[in-house]
Amino acid sequence: MNKIIIDPVTRIEGHLKIEVSVENGEVKDAKSSGMLFRGIEFILQGRDPRDAQMLTERICGVCPTSHSIAAALNLDSAFGISDKIPDNGRIMRNLILGAAHIADHILHFYHLSALDYLDITKVASYDGSDAVLSSLRNFAERGKLGPFIPRYEGDYRLSDEITLNVIAHYIEALTMRRKAQKMVSIFGGKMPHNMGVIPGGVTMVPTTDKIISFIWRLNELRDFINTIYLPDVLAIAEAYSDYFEIGVGCRNLLSYGSYDLDGKESDLTKRQRLFKQGTVSIDLNFNKLDITQISEEVKYSWYESGSAETEPKFGKEGAYSWIKAPRYGGKVYEVGPLARMMTNYVNGDPRIKELADPILSRFKAEPKNLFSVLGRHIARAVETKYIADSMQDWLLQLKPGESSYVDYIIPDDSIGVGLIEAARGALGHWIEIKDKKIANYQCVVPSTWNLSPRDDSGQPGPVEQALIGTKIKDESNPFEVVRIVRSFDPCIACAVHCIKM
């Protein structure tokens, strides 16, 4: 049995170690370990509840907007105003979240994932006249292609022409994701760590000049998504179609739903959302979301169990990660864009069918093939288009000059829950308020689900399951491992947290 250790796993957010044991070219065992503990939830204890969205968004600089919105929903619920947020506030939160998701998905595909498929050194032989490619060639000629070398060598399959195209798009995508972050800033004040999302709504009143400026930035992004991002994902799928079979995972998906279309229903599991709440299995069985089914287990994590809080305990016998193991009804669930797209797909959403069915027939694939590395990338790209296409209507629903915020009184004692989808999956915040202060705050975060270690009954987490059984062609260049792991878009700063449910 050979051991392959990848530490650090790069081109993700945070500090992740992956270890697999390989026998006869096949992964027999896999371990996913989060390697940094910060304990933001401990830091929240005793503070003014209104600070929660500002502090929790600092859990993650890649998806701060989703944390700020989860926290705001959580506080809305604890303050008893979930059903009172003005439509302007609800819609601006959707726009802030949507713009951030577009930025995140573009970043994930081009800057975090594409180098696993794209031989970037091919730019050295470029002899055309494109300014960007020429500057990259000059860069390559000056010496080593840092930070693009060292890397895994071998399995790069794209033609020269497609390779150069996608390299140029890698650079263009840097600009496009920056523009998407500007869209967040238009209503959120700045990015990363937007300042606009607060309990009660949003700090800013929308104005027509902001709306039109947002619309035209969005239009530019939509062009990029339609004419570049989606086609590039499909070009890679074409060349790497075996990855429809690789990285299947735990075969169960979970989504909290996202983008509130209605602000009157206080129960977030029942609220009408663009992306529906629920679970989907690989045989396309759908079930409604029931958050009482969520638990967290720590047998294999560096925490002491038993007390009301989970205290860190580095070096605990048998443990191998700072990430805990959340489970749903005792079973292992994957979260992320695939979960969101499949939840809508099995519910017959015509827009998602219109986007997904032609792709499935082009690759002669069935919905179950989407439980794979390529399925995750395709779901992410399709979702980006779906969100961007929806945002135009929302912008026109805003009422310029009208309020986006409702006032509240902080109760002496209360509890709350905030459920939303971060770019990489289901995100839940829970709060307990005592004497107008935070007594307890908890976040259950997407990568905690996806990158979790084994649970108390020994079931491996989703990424671990996706790795086990994989054939590795070249153990010194284990492309399969990193392609599988990155397809989940890990975010480890988010994943590690510590208060017991």
Partner 1 sequence: MGNVEEYPIIWLQCATCTGCSVSILNSESPTIKNILVDEILPGKHLNLRFHPTIMAGAGQAVIEEMEETKQRKSGSYILMIEGAIPTIEDGNYGCIGEKDEKPITMLSAVESLGKEALAVIALGTCAAFGGIAAAHRNPGKCVGVDKLFKSLSIITPLINIPGCPPHPDWLVGTVASFLLNGLPKEEDLDEYRRPKAFYGRLIHERCPRRADFDEGKFAKNFNKPGCLYELGCKGPVAYADCPLRLWNGGVNWCINAGSPCIGCCEFGFPDVVSPLYQKMDVEALPIVGRRIEIE
Least separation in angstroms between CB 217 and partner 1? 9
Pick 173 or 365: Cβ nearer partner 1: 173
Selecting among 447, 464, 487, 497, the annotated active-site residue is 447
Pick 53 or 372: Cβ nearer partner 1: 53
Question: Is 9:485 a contact under the CB 8 Å cutoff?
Answer: yes
Interface with partner 1 in residues 84-113 (CB under 8 A): 107, 111-112
Interface with partner 1 (CB under 8 A), residue from 8, 154, 306, 400: 8
Interface with partner 1 in residues 22-51 (CB under 8 A): 35-40, 42-43, 45-48, 50-51
Tokens of 357: 């069915």
Selecting among 67, 327, 340, 376, the annotated active-site residue is 67
Residue 424 is among the residues annotated as catalytic for this protein: yes
Interface with partner 1 (CB under 8 A), residue from 267, 290, 407, 475: 407
Q: Does 411 bind partner 1 (CB under 8 A)?
A: no
Residue 177 is among the residues annotated as catalytic for this protein: no
Least separation in angstroms between CB 47 and partner 1? 6
Question: Is 461:325 a contact under the CB 8 Å cutoff?
Answer: yes
Least separation in angstroms between CB 339 and partner 1? 23
Residue 447 is among the residues annotated as catalytic for this protein: yes
Selecting among 15, 19, 41, 60, the annotated active-site residue is 60
Selecting among 321, 491, 497, 498, the annotated active-site residue is 491
Q: Which residue has the tokens 């004692």?
A: 413
Q: Does 316 bind partner 1 (CB under 8 A)?
A: no
Phi, then psi, of 458 in degrees rounded to 5: 90, 5
3-state secondary structure 82-97: CCCCCHHHHHHHHHHH
3-class DSSP assignment, residue 268: coil
Residue 443 is among the residues annotated as catalytic for this protein: no
Pick the closest to residue 418 from 236, 108, 228, 197 (CA basis).
197
Residue 491 is among the residues annotated as catalytic for this protein: yes
Least separation in angstroms between CB 356 and partner 1? 30
Least separation in angstroms between CB 487 and partner 1? 15
Pick 124 or 149: Cβ nearer partner 1: 149
Pick the closest to residue 418 from 223, 266, 214 (CA basis).
266
Phi, then psi, of 382 in degrees rounded to 5: -60, -40
Binding piece for partner 1, criterion CB under 8 A, among 10-18, 225-233, 269-277, 363-371: 10-18
Residue 193 is among the residues annotated as catalytic for this protein: no
* List of residues 6+ apart from 233 with CB closer than 8 A: 109, 377, 378, 380, 381
Interface with partner 1 in residues 254-313 (CB under 8 A): 312
Binding piece for partner 1, criterion CB under 8 A, among 6-14, 157-165, 253-261, 335-343: 6-14
Least separation in angstroms between CB 476 and partner 1? 10
Q: How far apart are CA 54 and CA 51, in angstroms?
A: 5
Q: Does 124 bind partner 1 (CB under 8 A)?
A: no
Least separation in angstroms between CB 186 and partner 1? 5
Helical H runs in 107-225? Answer: 131-141, 160-188, 208-224
Q: How far apart are CA 404 and CA 150, in angstroms?
A: 50
Residues listed for the chain? 501
Least separation in angstroms between CB 314 and partner 1? 5
Q: How far apart are CA 197 and CA 280, in angstroms?
A: 31
Interface with partner 1 in residues 163-182 (CB under 8 A): 171, 174-175, 177-178, 181-182
Interface with partner 1 (CB under 8 A), residue from 298, 482, 495, 499: 482
Pick 50 or 340: Cβ nearer partner 1: 50
Interface with partner 1 in residues 136-155 (CB under 8 A): 136, 138-139, 141-143, 146-152
Ramachandran quadrant class, 165 (left: phi over 0; alpha: psi -120 to 50; beta: rest): alpha
Half-sphere exposure at residue 79, Cβ-oriented, CA atoms within 13 angstroms? 25
Phi, then psi, of 9 in degrees rounded to 5: -80, 120
Interface with partner 1 in residues 335-364 (CB under 8 A): none
Question: Is 75:416 a contact under the CB 8 Å cutoff?
Answer: yes
Interface with partner 1 in residues 185-224 (CB under 8 A): 185-193, 195-196, 198, 200-201, 203-205, 213
Beta bridge mates, 26: 23, 471
Residue 67 is among the residues annotated as catalytic for this protein: yes
3-state secondary structure 288-307: CCCHHHEEEECCCECECCCC
Interface with partner 1 (CB under 8 A), residue from 73, 115, 395, 466: 115
Q: Does 433 bind partner 1 (CB under 8 A)?
A: no
Question: Is 145:423 a contact under the CB 8 Å cutoff?
Answer: no
Pick 103 or 365: Cβ nearer partner 1: 103
Pick 78 or 107: Cβ nearer partner 1: 107
3-state secondary structure 420-487: EEECCEEEEEEEEEECCEEEEEEEECHHHHHCCCCCCCCCCCHHHHHHCCCECCCCCCCHHHHHHHHH
Handedness of CA 27, 31, 32, 36 (dihedral sign): negative
Pick 8 or 330: Cβ nearer partner 1: 8
Binding piece for partner 1, criterion CB under 8 A, among 59-67, 358-366, 377-385, 462-470: 59-67
Q: Does 404 bind partner 1 (CB under 8 A)?
A: yes
Active site residues: 13, 60, 63, 67, 424, 447, 491, 494
